[in-house]
Amino acid sequence: MSTTSQVATSMPPADPAHPVIGAATSLLDAYTPDARFLATPGRTLLAHGDVRRVPHDERSLDERVNATLAEAAAAGQESPVVIGAIPFDHGAPAALSVPAELRTAPPLASDPLIALPVGVPASADWRIRPVPEPEAYGAGVASAVERMWRGEFSKVVLARTLELTSSAPLDLPAMLQRLARRDPVGYTFALPTAPGRTLIGASPELLVSRKGSQVTANPLAGSTPRSADLAEDVRRAATLLESAKDLHEHAVVVDAVHQALAPHCSRLTVPARPTLIRTATMWHLSTTVTGTLAAPDTSALSLACALHPTPAVCGTPTATARQVIAETEPFDRGFFTGVVGWGDAQGNGEWVVTIRCAEAEERTLRLYAGAGVVAASEPEAETAETAAKFRTFLGAVGTEL
C-alpha cells in the first residue's frame, strides 16, 4: 500500500552524495494516465485524486488558489498542495487541484536507477500533419520581421504544431519514461487538463521558484540545435555564446524578468552575461536570477503570474506580441507556453514554463514548438529551430520529421 506524504518547507532536497536508490524512479514507474506527475531538480511528485479543484471565476488566480488551499486545510487536509497547469491565455481556465494523495521523492537525477536504459518505442503507424506547413510558418516569420523593421514591436515568439495520429492507443506511461530518462535534470510532467486529455512534456525552463524567502528564476532565450558530432556540438555552443542576435534576444527576456521581480524583492542578483545549458536536443542561453523576498506573504504563484508570459514565450511589448501571435498562429496554444508546477499554503513552490510538450488525447498528439523572432531573424533558421525542438518529443514516440 502506498503512503501519503505532503510537500512542505521542511522537506529537504536530496543529497546527491547519498541518493535514495529507487525512490524517485518508483514514482515514475507508478504513473498512470489518471495521475499527476511532476519531476523537478528539487523533487519528484506523483498525485492521485482531487480534494478540491481551483475554480475559474473573477478573482485573480493567486486568490483562487489561496482560497482552495485554505478550504482543503479547513476540511482536514494536512499541508495541502496545489498542482497542475496554467494556460498561455490568462483568461482561460487553469487545470489546478489539491490532490487527495501526494507521494514525494527526491529528484530523478539523484536516483541511480534513472540511468538504466529505457525500452525502444513500440512501432506505430504515425500520421503527421504540420499546422501550419513549414512554408506558411516561414512566411509568418518574414512578415513579423518586416513589421519589426517598421518599428511596430521588438520581438515575438511564433509557434507551430505537429499533429500526430497513431494507429494504436497512446502509451503515455512509456512516453513519460523516455522523456524523464532522456533529460532527468529538467522538468518532466504529465498532467490532466480536461477529461481524456493530458499535457505531457519535458521543459528545461524554470519560470520561478520560492523556498522560504529565497526566489530563483532561470530564463532561457537564444537556442541552437545539438549535434551528434562532439566537435561540431562544441562549436555550436561557442557560437551561441557569441551570437549578437541570440544575446540580444536573451537580454530582452532577462530584463523583463528583472523588472517583474524587482518590486517583490529586497535583493536581486542578475548576472551580467548568460551561461549555457543543454538538453538532449538543444543548447540554450541561460541566466539564473536570484533574490530575497521583501514581503513574506508573496507566493511563488503570485511571482509566476507577475512574470507570465515572459518575452521568451510571447514577445515584447507583451500586448502587441500577443496580438501578432493571434493573427499569425492558426491554432489555440492552450497550455503550451503556459505554466506547470506546484505550490503550498506557505507560498513555496516551483513553476515551470510549459515548452517541449504535447497534448495527448485518445490516439492523437499535438506537439508544439516556438522560436523567438527578432529583427535579425531568418525564416529558414527559425523553422529549423522549431524542427529541432520537436525532436524532444518525437524521440519519445519513436518517429522523426
Judging by DSSP bridges, how do beta strands 364-373 and 36-39 pair with one another?
unpaired
**DSSP of 103-133:** EEES-GGG-GGGGSPPPPPPP---EEEEES-
- Asked if pLDDT for residue 17 goes beyond 70, the answer is no
301 pLDDT tier (thresholds 50, 70, 90): very high
Distance CA 179, CA 156 (A): 28
Cβ-proximal residues to 12 (8 Å cutoff; 6+ apart), any chain: none
Buried b (16+ CB within 10 A) or exposed e, 38-59: bbbbbbbbbbbeebbebeeeee
User: pTM of the full predicted structure?
Assistant: 0.92
Distance, CA of 323 to chain centre: 22
**DSSP of 192-203:** EEETTEEEEEEE
Average pLDDT over residues 200-229: 95
Average pLDDT over residues 184-198: 96
- Asked if pLDDT for residue 2 goes beyond 80, the answer is no
Q: Find out whether 317 and 290 touch, Cβ atoms under 8 Å.
A: no
Q: What is the pLDDT of residue 398?
A: 82
Interhelix angle 172-182/23-30, nearest 10 degrees: 150
Q: Which of 78, 163, 205, 329 is catalytic?
A: 205
Q: Which of 71, 101, 146, 155 is catalytic?
A: 155
Average pLDDT over residues 328-357: 97
- Asked if pLDDT for residue 272 goes beyond 90, the answer is yes
pLDDT digits (tens, 9 = 90+) for 129-184: 999 999 999 999 999 999 999 999 999 999 999 999 998 889 999 999 999 999 99
392 pLDDT tier (thresholds 50, 70, 90): confident
Cα-Cα-Cα-Cα dihedral sign, residues 223, 206, 339, 303: negative
19 pLDDT tier (thresholds 50, 70, 90): low
Q: What is the chain's length?
A: 401
Q: Find out whether 365 and 170 touch, Cβ atoms under 8 Å.
A: yes
Higher pLDDT among residues 103 and 2, named by residue = 103
Active site residue 205: yes
Distance CA 137, CA 246 (A): 20
Q: What is the pLDDT of residue 18?
A: 56
Mean per-residue pLDDT of the chain: 92
- Asked if pLDDT for residue 3 goes beyond 60, the answer is no
Per-residue DSSP letter, 340: E
122 pLDDT tier (thresholds 50, 70, 90): low
